[in-house]
Amino acid sequence: MTFATLPWRAILVGSLIGLAAALGDAYDVSGFLAHNELKAVNAQFSLRGPRTPHAPVVIVTIDEDSFVELNMPWPWPRALHAKFPDIVSLGMPAVIALDILFIEPSSRGPADDQALAQAISRSGKVVLAAGLGEVLESGWIPKLETSRRRSLRSAPARPYGVR
């Protein structure tokens, strides 16, 4: 059966169902579809079963015990964060992910930011967290000019505020 010989009613009904599903997903204010999608993904992982990782994964967390042990309030100096990639790099990891948002320049001055930037550069394996926000006053996110766009790979490894 070719496209020309397909019954047009079937094409029309299928198109309308597809359009309704797309619109329902786009305007899913209740979260019903998103919840069902997550349940479907969980079911697929359950069917697949557990897998052992190819390489060991180590997760280092900052918790209440960390604050007690260091006797230091948050935010910690960036120079202290800079010690982490240096120490972890000794184990030759494939990647070091820092899930901490450094969204403002350090309150301890540019030297503090520079210490972290240099540690990230020395390691060469650090991936930093990123956040995307919306400008609430105007309701849109300004676009960068094409000449200023760069991939994350080509962007220099440095915390916000370090030039």
pLDDT in tens, 4-13: 667 888 888 9
Please provide residue 48's backbone torsions phi and psi, each rounded to the nearest 5 degrees.
-65, -35
CB contact at 8 A, 122 and 85: yes
Higher pLDDT, 22 or 136: 22
How much is the average pLDDT of 82-105?
90
Q: How confident is the model at residue 142 (pLDDT cuts 50, 70, 90)?
A: low
Contacts (Cβ under 8 Å, ≥6 apart) of 99:
129
Residue-level pLDDT at 3 = 63
Structural domain spans, the chain: 3-48, 64-148
Residue-level pLDDT at 115 = 94
- The HSE-up count of residue 98 (CA atoms within 13 Å, CB side) is 24
CB contact at 8 A, 100 and 77: no
CB contact at 8 A, 98 and 60: no
CB contact at 8 A, 110 and 79: no
Residue-level pLDDT at 149 = 38
Return the minimum-mean-pLDDT range out of 5-9, 17-21, 115-119.
5-9
Helix axes 78-89, 110-123, angle to 10 degrees: 10
Higher pLDDT, 85 or 138: 85
Residue-level pLDDT at 82 = 93
